[in-house]
Amino acid sequence: MPTIVIVAFDQVQLLDVTGPAEVFTTAAATTGGGAAYDVRIVSPDGADVRTSSGVRIGVDIGPDALPRRIHTVLVPGRSDWRAAVHDTELVAFTAQLARRARRVASVCAGAFLLAETGLLDGRRAATHWRLAADLAAAYPAVTVAHDPIYVRDGPVVTSAGVSAGIDLALALVEEDHGADTARDVARELVVFMARPGGQSQFSARLNPATGQHPAVRAAMDAAGADPRAASDLTVLAEVAGVSPRHLTRLFRADTGMTPGQYIESVRLEAARALLEGGGDPVEHIAQAAGFGSSESMRRAFQQTLGVAPTEYRARFRTTHCTNPTVTPA
């Protein structure tokens, strides 16, 4: 059986460990042992660990009892990634296991541990959307992908935050045993086989920080005040007191975006807020947010968030099931 080694350490996020472990063990159950994995949870000193939620995890064995060759090493994360990468024993342990593994994976902030070992140098990698900028700043040799749920670069697979470890583990099961087995596991666990859309749909607001140049700030303020009216570059340039061409140059230098891209991001944020907070028809929201039509808004949502506006509303407006089995009192 392929050996799956999941690294555990104090303050690790519980679901980073248990989510993938459940996927791998369910693969064996759904195939009658045909897709069996030998899942080992290990810690650097072989002792049990206390997770960030306070739940203790029993460690199977110490590092010396592992086989010489390991099929997959999976490295979870902790919310305080700086404490993790400053733990020299943990970093050395991770590096040692990675050298013995055919495949290495990380969940959430586990990418920081892999980066600290140098394993991500020159590779694309993913982490939790809130930590992506930190990963890029701390490890400039890593190309950080901000939106994907998981990223595969050669024998290294990195995933987004917490529950994305389940998506990652399903992808690894599919790689090892095919799509049918992974689909059976997903059905058994009642999760998506492939999660629709990327991390952007879960992330904080997309608007960039306020521009530094006065002309850029004036144009941003005008666009934010009324996304419907901010459709003409000439109008924004007049508000900013510069020519359209000069405003475009200033925008690119100050924000990395064109005025048009910024306007679309403002409209997208307005639409997200309206979808989350009310029940108006999508066509009305498209008009109110400045898109002009529901089709234009749908294209922007699909391109930026990977989901349609109606799907976005269904996921983020309420936690109530569409088909509840219990009638509310």
Look up residue 192 and give its amino acid.
F
Q: Is 321 a catalytic residue?
A: no
Under a CB-based contact definition with an 8 Å cutoff, are residues 301 and 307 in contact? Answer: yes
- Cα separation, 40 vs 6, whole angstroms: 6
Q: Which stretches does DSSP call E strand in the chain?
A: 3-7, 38-42, 49-50, 56-57, 70-75, 101-106, 124-125, 143-144, 150-153, 156-159
Angle at the Cα of 155 (from 17 to 18), degrees rounded to 5?
Answer: 10
State both tokens at 119: 């394993």
Give the residue from 119, 93, 89 showing the smallest Cα distance to 104.
Answer: 119
From 35, 42, 57, 108, active-site residue: 108
Under a CB-based contact definition with an 8 Å cutoff, are residues 317 and 275 in contact? Answer: yes
φ, ψ at 146 (rounded to 5°): -80, -25
Question: Residue 51 CB: number of other CB atoms within 10 A?
Answer: 21
Give the residue from 266, 253, 257, 254 showing the smallest Cα distance to 221.
Answer: 266
Give the pairing of strands 3-7 and 70-75: parallel
- Cα separation, 94 vs 113, whole angstroms: 7
Radius of gyration in angstroms for the set of CA atoms belonging to the chain, rounded to a whole number: 23
Q: Which DSSP letter does residue 193 get?
A: S
* Residues noted as catalytic: 108
